[in-house]
Structure 1
């Protein structure tokens, strides 16, 4: 993992929360949705199939525990999980809490309006609930 470097756009748009094992868990800096990303700490990974079978298995496990924690911490209706990579080539997986009536419901969150920074108290509350759920 010593050659792992986080893409500058992911670093700019997210806040590091913790290492899960394979992945960094990072909070998206957009308060409209409780939204985290998982970034496998491997260099040169663009697609999920670029990872070893063991890393793919670890990613699946870490995705499930992160998604369950986001659902518990946000009390949302639905979890969306996706890996697009159209703007940032470095493989990363989005885990997004969704509710009926949220700003993009029922469509995708990508490209919908402008990101809204977290209120520090709301970020702290969500982060504490998320980390406790993990």
Structure 2
């Protein structure tokens, strides 16, 4: 199987599943960052149940976790809308607040979960929200 990444590609044995995490941030580490991660649904698990399970896991693992919102949205994928669930929350990391938005969707060909996340040390302002919406709107498989 050919595995392609920004810097190149490699051949790996068939049957492997991409479980990588991509992190895009600034050199200074300040400001917004974007994380793309992958996961698997449990057998017979629907997207809504997966998100509920993940929220419980976040509550248990992250100090100061506060869920600010959860909603269903459509993400434009190859000009066809794909349903996603967006969650907005904050938590504390090393004593500092982190604010995060996530869009969680199922990658149709494999049924694998794809999580698009944007984080900031500051609460999202109008410009950050605009960046988040731009990122979601630009998504393609």
TM-score range, shorter chain: 0.3 to 0.5
- Structure with the higher fraction of residues in helix conformation: 1
TM-score with structure 2 setting the length: 0.35
- Structure with the higher fraction of residues in strand conformation: 2
- Larger relative CO (CA 8 A, sep 6+): 1 or 2? 1
Point out the structure with max Rg over C-alpha. Answer: 2
